[in-house]
Copies of this chain bind each other. A is one copy, B any other.
Amino acid sequence: MTESSKDKIKESARVELFSDGVFAIAITLLVLELIQILHPKTEIDLVTTCLKHWQSFLAFFIGFITILICWINHHVAFEFIYKVDTKFMWVNGFLLFIVTLTPFPTAILAEYLETESTVALAIFGFNYILISIAAYGICFYAYKHHLISEEDRHFFHSYSLIYRYAIYFNVLAFFVCFISTWVALCLYIILFSLFATPKELTVRLEKIRLRKRKKSKYKKAEELEEGTKV
């Protein structure tokens, strides 16, 4: 059983292909829930029907953004990952499982946003916790098992960290749901805008950490200096 590095590139490509397929379908299936609002055809006119189901449109929009952000983050991670092994396919499979499931909480949001907004949002929030765990899992596994090239190792470590913070953030937002849906919504909007551009987020995070380290070094140096003075 010989495997050249070329085969491994091909291997990673097929995992991307399959994942892309799942993302693309999950994102497109969302419209089926939207079409649902036209059936059964009622006596009410078209514009009123659409306005009455504004939650369905909102849910479609949220579901779409959610899966698109997932895909963009998955895409950025796979820019670095060039090898795969069978266990990694299971870690990736867990992410796909959550992505495939996403139309379900989206449908819940569409149907229950008016009557049971707290529970509906909490279920969606729980979905986000699972997504961030899966995303962190992919990065953690790829980092630990050297599925990335050595030169990207340092940056990829910072990259995987943003998903660890995302888990904490999502757990927090999940509990906030039960206190105030509006505050929770704001937290999710912040989350969305941060993870819309994951590479830029990582770079920003690296800068903050660098500054902190410099500061602490400076402090230490100052203390040392003071120590020598005293």
Could you list 15 A-B pairs, sorted by A, with CB under 8 Å? A1-B152, A14-B78, A16-B17, A17-B17, A17-B20, A22-B24, A22-B28, A24-B25, A25-B28, A26-B28, A27-B100, A29-B29, A38-B108, A47-B119, A64-B100
Cα A26 to Cα B21 in complex, Å, equals 11
The answer to whether A23 and B30 have CB atoms under 8 Å apart is no
A220 at the interface (CB under 8 A from B): no
Number of this chain's copies in the assembly equals 4
Known: A72-B90, A86-B197. 10 other contacts (CB 8 A): A18-B20, A18-B75, A20-B24, A25-B28, A26-B28, A31-B101, A34-B101, A38-B107, A46-B108, A46-B123
A225 at the interface (CB under 8 A from B): no
Partner of A198, one of B1, B72, B86: B86
For the complex formed, measure the closest distance between the CB of A64 and the CB atoms of chain B, giving whole angstroms: 6
Residues of A that sit less than 8 Å from B by CB: 1-3, 7, 10-11, 14-18, 20-36, 38-39, 41, 45-47, 60, 64, 68, 71-72, 75-76, 78-79, 86-87, 89-90, 93, 96-97, 100-101, 103-104, 107-108, 111-112, 116, 119-120, 123, 151-152, 155, 196-200
6 A-B pairs closest in CB distance: A21-B24, A25-B28, A1-B155, A86-B197, A35-B107, A22-B24
